[in-house]
Structure 1
Amino acid sequence: MTQMRVIEPVADLLRQPEGPRDRQLLYGEAVVAADEIDGFTRITSEKDSYPGWIRTDHLGPIEPQTHWIVAASTHAYERADLKSPDLTSLSFGSRIRALSEKKGFLETSLGFIPAVHAVPAYSRLTDPVAAAELFLGTPYLWGGNSRFGLDCSGLVQACLLACGVPCPGDSGDQEKVLGNPVPSGTQAQRGDLLFWKGHVAWVAAENLLLHANAYHMAVALEAMDQAIARISEQGDGPVTAHKRL
């Protein structure tokens, strides 16, 4: 077993080599690597113990991380100059090592990243719904975990981890371990989570949900009563849990 880190902006975590994507990992995230087969390495993600396979060339040696990306997404530039060529893009939650800071940019091995888009590695946010609002309009992607595409549980996990709250990667596991059940008939409030079989949504306000969903194919705001009715009518059943963190 070897500790390593992800060196691609977004890397698919596969069920088996060349298999379907279950989740994704972001640049700088730590993993524990085991055996390698035909260019794929079996790993376990350190953030949530999610197992799977990742392309071996998407992994590199572990290194101390000084900052993480708090903007929805950012660019790494060739120089500490916003007009210089952009070299790559990183999502919210990516972890970086700053070598220096100059002219408002963090120098990294990827290029120069606007310092305003990052916070120190120890920093945590306080409002997961505010973090989720950063993702509004992000395209829906099954198993996605980044600003470039995510699903319902990926959105919840990204926002809770940013606030320092441990969170599994799949909605079924999230329903089991997150928060406390809210008694039936209690008014939903901002920051609550509603669960269905295979789906989860943030409560953004009294009758407003914020969720990554295949109906809108995006992270979207939707009236809660309309969403509950729509999800039931399309055959996915009733709300299975109302949880408060």
Structure 2
Amino acid sequence: MTDRRTTPNPAWVDSSAPAQVGVTLTDLLDAPNGTRDRQLIYGDPITVLGAREGHSYVRSDKDGYIGFVPTSALINPTQPTHRIIARASHAYAQADMKSPDRLPLTFGSRLTALSETPRFIETAAGFVPKQHIAPEDQHHNDPATIAEIFLGTPYLWGGNSGTGIDCSGLIQAACLACNIACDGDSDQQARNLGTALPDDTPPRRNDLLFWKGHVALVYDSETLIHANAHHMATSFEPISNALNRIAQSDGLLTAHRRL
């Protein structure tokens, strides 16, 4: 079956041009002025495939996801040099934390340094504290550590940011930060991430547990971390509790995969 999330509709394709997201975050919609499928964040590289009703039809370069975003949210592409490694940050008008903040930024936002001071890099969005950034080519090696950054983040269906995130968005943020290619939705992740394991395999750190429409990351042998609607937040939960609770509403575990 053709997956509309990653396969362009030929009727909407007019051209192909690179761009990037130039706002804090923007919804990736299923149609112009439609409903949110996912979100894109500042600096995300995209390919513009066409335009309709003030919206651009785009493909997200990080995962191939296709949808519509307001054309006003896009800017010309630049080569990123850094990315945000804190759950949230700000771009300031000056290299001074007391100067006006121009733009909120979220984990994973990609930035291009124009210059730097001892404590800030200057970007097109403003001055960003060095404490909140890392070089673009410097990757983490432990997805669970990244997921922990999002503890307490409100649950938001289709969310991909430090202000709101869902189960698959959390897994994607953790994997991409560790240079692991990752799809946007949990059903895609269940097919493509890591290696499938037998159901009776004891869980270990950074294993993925899947249910119908949900995914969680194993934090340790007894605990998982997940963005979930039960707590309406990213939270820790004992694995045994989650298995019992989710079985009552959404069924049994459907997959166990190891990164």
Give the TM interval when normalised to the shorter protein: over 0.9
Residues 6-65 of structure 1, C-alpha deviations (whole Å, 9 max, x = no match): 001101000011111000001011111021111001000000100000000001111111
Q: Bigger shift: 184-193 or 218-227?
A: 184-193
Map of 1:241 onto structure 2: 255
Q: Which runs of 5+ in 2 are unaligned?
A: 1-15
Instruction: Measure, in 1, the Cα distance between the counterparts of 2:192 and 2:52.
Output: 33
CA contact (8 A) 2:199 2:255 kept: no
Shift of 1:71: 1.1
Instruction: Measure, in 1, the Cα distance between the counterparts of 2:199 and 2:131.
Output: 43
Map of 1:65 onto structure 2: 80
Map of 1:137 onto structure 2: 152
Map of 1:127 onto structure 2: 142
Map of 2:102 onto structure 1: 87
Shift of 1:172: 0.1
Q: Of 85, 102, 125, which aligns to 1:110?
A: 125
Map of 1:152 onto structure 2: 167
Query: Which amino acid counterpart does residue 242 of structure 2 have in structure 1?
Result: A
Shift of 1:184: 2.8
Query: Which amino acid counterpart does residue 49 of structure 2 have in structure 1?
Result: A
Instruction: Measure, in 2, the Cα distance between the counterparts of 1:37 and 1:183.
Output: 47
Q: Of 13, 19, 26, which aligns to 2:41?
A: 26
Instruction: Measure, in 2, the Cα distance between the counterparts of 1:149 and 1:23.
Output: 11
Asked if 1:203 is matched to 2:188, the reply is no
Provide the alpha-carbon RMSD of the alignment.
Answer: 0.8
CA contact (8 A) 2:26 2:39 kept: yes
Instruction: Measure, in 1, the Cα distance between the counterparts of 2:214 and 2:106.
Output: 23
Q: Secondary structure at the match of 2:217?
A: strand
Show the 5 A alignment for 1:209-228.
209-228=224-243
Using structure 2 for the length normalisation, give the TM-score. Answer: 0.93
Q: When the two structures are aligned, how many residues end up with a matched partner?
A: 244
Query: Which amino acid counterpart does residue 251 of structure 2 have in structure 1?
Result: G
Map of 1:15 onto structure 2: 30
CA contact (8 A) 1:80 1:103 kept: no
Shift of 1:211: 0.1
Q: Secondary structure at the match of 2:144?
A: helix
Residues 93-151 of structure 1, C-alpha deviations (whole Å, 9 max, x = no match): 00011111113101111111001211111111110100000000000000000101010
Asked if 1:231 is matched to 2:246, the reply is yes
Instruction: Measure, in 1, the Cα distance between the counterparts of 2:77 and 2:92.
Output: 23
Instruction: Measure, in 2, the Cα distance between the counterparts of 1:34 and 1:208.
Output: 43
Map of 1:163 onto structure 2: 178
Q: Bigger shift: 110-119 or 195-204?
A: 110-119
Query: Which amino acid counterpart does residue 222 of structure 1 have in structure 2?
Result: E
Instruction: Measure, in 2, the Cα distance between the counterparts of 1:195 and 1:232.
Output: 12
Query: Which amino acid counterpart does residue 242 of structure 1 have in structure 2?
Result: H
Q: Secondary structure at the match of 1:103?
A: coil
Q: Secondary structure at the match of 1:220?
A: strand
Instruction: Measure, in 1, the Cα distance between the counterparts of 2:189 and 2:200.
Output: 22
Residues 159-184 of structure 1, C-alpha deviations (whole Å, 9 max, x = no match): 10111000000000000011112223
CA contact (8 A) 1:67 1:98 kept: yes
Q: Which runs of 5+ in 1 are unaligned?
A: none
Query: Which amino acid counterpart does residue 235 of structure 2 have in structure 1?
Result: A
Shift of 1:88: 1.6
Instruction: Measure, in 1, the Cα distance between the counterparts of 2:247 and 2:199.
Output: 18
